[in-house]
Amino acid sequence: MMYTIALISGDGIGPDVIGPAVEVLDAVGDKYGHTFHYVELAAGGKAVDAVGEPLPAGTLEAVKQCDALLLGAVGGPRWDTLPGHLRPERALLGLRAGLGVFANFRPAALFPQLRGACPLKDEVLGNSDGKPGFDLLIVRELTGGLYFGERGRRDGNRSAFDTEAYSWDEIDRVLRRGYDAALSRRKKLCVVDKANVLESSRLWREVAAETAKDYPAVETSYMYVDNCAMQLIRNPGQFDVLVTSNLFGDILSDEASALAGSIGMLPSASLGSPDETGRVRGIYEPIHGSAPDLAGKDTANPLGAILSAGMMLRYSFGLEREAEAVSGAVSAVLDAGLRTQDLAGKSGRPEKIVGTKAMGEGVLHFLENF
């Protein structure tokens, strides 16, 4: 099959990590008989510099013509003083809204090889499914809530407001994505909210009580977000799928990434509804951001980007075997002791510290075995 992939490598370490991810995709294509055709597009700081806006209309239109989008990162100190509508981050929000990708999957699991990179003690680390460690999936609502609610200034600029607003349908559709994911996992779903204070959270609970009826095989629970932040570091193994609002998901996913050893390891997939042809629109990006101090130095960890490409194979193209090959090769490269700087010195056994490119080549090497 032939797939067209939009590439926005973006700012900072974006291009460093997208390079190896594309090589991995090409190797998967060669091995399994698929052709990936890439359309390189500009967004973020680069687009601000080139055309004066973070998300040129042409970029969004071109992305819509593609089967999926692989994105590196956007942003950096150069653009931090620009007004809100010109900041590179606006490109992310515009792409998310423009593509309608309302469900953001942020899996966080501990590779056993990276046990030493997880800051939790053995007795705290706990279990998931009888195995030491944790394997959870945060499903973050991505196109609503505080990020997109009404906002503004008043009282002559002496006061400002943002609004958290959710409709029944917005909550229901993201919950369903969470339930579908839970069905192929450990069948537990926790709705994370602040229903003791927020009216919008109370609606989340009402919707969940209804939606849950369609998923009798999944055990539904509810947790306040402050407690969840604590439970994540007290006993992450208790969680399977967490479904939550845009802002809460943003915060909790950074917390979860620290437990996985390095934010450089974590991929993400942002998914919309299937179109008429059954194709699921998706944005795939590592969650680490642009890390400008590491840009161009061949030190960034490309595994989050490579695993994001793997998620693309699974969720947008339905290539399960190919996606498994990518995660298998990443696990093998860790078994072999290859570590980028962010993971260095934490495995308690011989390690080979490598740069971005060598880590990518390691993955290519092990891909042969799958």
Contact 213, 196 (CB under 8 A): no
Residue among 334, 330, 327 nearest 363 (CA): 330
Between 86 and 124, name the residue whose CB sits nearer to ligand IPM: 86
Between 113 and 244, name the residue whose CB sits nearer to ligand IPM: 244
Beta-bridge partners for 181: none
Residue 361 touches which member of Mg ion, ligand IPM, none, C-beta under 5-8 Å by kind: none
Using CB under 6 A as the binding rule, whether residue 193 contacts ligand IPM is answered as no
**Which one of residues 89, 219, 351, 361 is an interface residue with ligand IPM (CB under 6 A)?**
89
Residue 16 touches which member of ligand IPM, Mg ion, none, C-beta under 5-8 Å by kind: none
Window of 127-135, 160-168, 214-222, 249-257 that interacts with Mg ion by CB under 5 A:
249-257
User: Least distance to ligand IPM from the beta carbon of 259, Å?
Assistant: 16
User: Least distance to Mg ion from the beta carbon of 105, Å?
Assistant: 14
Q: Active site includes 11? A: no
Contact 62, 6 (CB under 8 A): yes
**Which one of residues 250, 306, 326, 356 is an interface residue with ligand IPM (CB under 6 A)?**
250
Of 254, 298, 346, 357, which one is the catalytic site residue?
Answer: 254
Q: What is the 3-state secondary structure (H, E, C) of the chain?
A: CEEEEEEEEECCCHHHHHHHHHHHHHHHHHHHCCEEEEEECCCCHHHHHHHCCCCCHHHHHHHHHCCEEEEEECCCHHHCCCCHHHCCHHHHHHHHHHHCCCEEEEEEECCHHHHHHCCCCHHHHCEECCEECCEEEEEEECCCHHHCCCEEEECCCCEEEECCCCCHHHHHHHHHHHHHHHHCCCCEEEEEECCCCCHHHHHHHHHHHHHHHHCCCCEEEEEEHHHHHHHHHHCHHHCCEEEECHHHHHHHHHHHHHHCCCHHHCCCEEEEEECCCCCEEEEECCCCCCCHHHCCCCCCCCHHHHHHHHHHHHHCCCCHHHHHHHHHHHHHHHHCCEECHHHCCCCCCCCEECCHHHHHHHHHHHHCCC
Of 250, 284, 315, 342, which one is the catalytic site residue?
Answer: 250
Of 226, 275, 293, 335, which one is the catalytic site residue?
Answer: 226
Residue 180 touches which member of Mg ion, ligand IPM, none, C-beta under 5-8 Å by kind: none
Residue 92 touches which member of Mg ion, ligand IPM, none, C-beta under 5-8 Å by kind: ligand IPM
Between 253 and 356, name the residue whose CB sits nearer to ligand IPM: 253
How many residues form the binding site for ligand IPM (CB under 6 A)? 4
What distances in angstroms separate CA 121 from CA 26, 152, 256, 296, one per listed residue? 40, 44, 15, 35
Between 94 and 237, name the residue whose CB sits nearer to ligand IPM: 94
Q: Active site includes 222? A: no
Between 29 and 145, name the residue whose CB sits nearer to ligand IPM: 145
The rounded distance, in Å, linking the Cα atoms of 50 and 97 is 23
Q: How far apart are the first and last CA of the chain?
A: 19
Residue 89 touches which member of Mg ion, ligand IPM, none, C-beta under 5-8 Å by kind: ligand IPM
User: Least distance to Mg ion from the beta carbon of 46, Å?
Assistant: 20
Q: Active site includes 214? A: no
Which residues in the 120-159 window bind ligand IPM by CB under 6 A?
none
Q: Active site includes 80? A: no
**Which one of residues 141, 193, 240, 250 is an interface residue with Mg ion (CB under 5 A)?**
250
Q: Active site includes 213? A: no
Q: Pattern 258-297, binding to ligand IPM, x per CB under 6 A?
A: -----------------------------x----------
User: Least distance to ligand IPM from the beta carbon of 283, Å?
Assistant: 10
Indicate the residue whose CB is closest to Mg ion: 250
The rounded distance, in Å, linking the Cα atoms of 7 and 175 is 29
Using CB under 5 A as the binding rule, whether residue 285 contacts Mg ion is answered as no
**Catalytic site positions:** 147, 194, 226, 250, 254
Residues that bind ligand IPM (CB under 6 A): 89, 92, 250, 287
Residues that bind Mg ion (CB under 5 A): 250
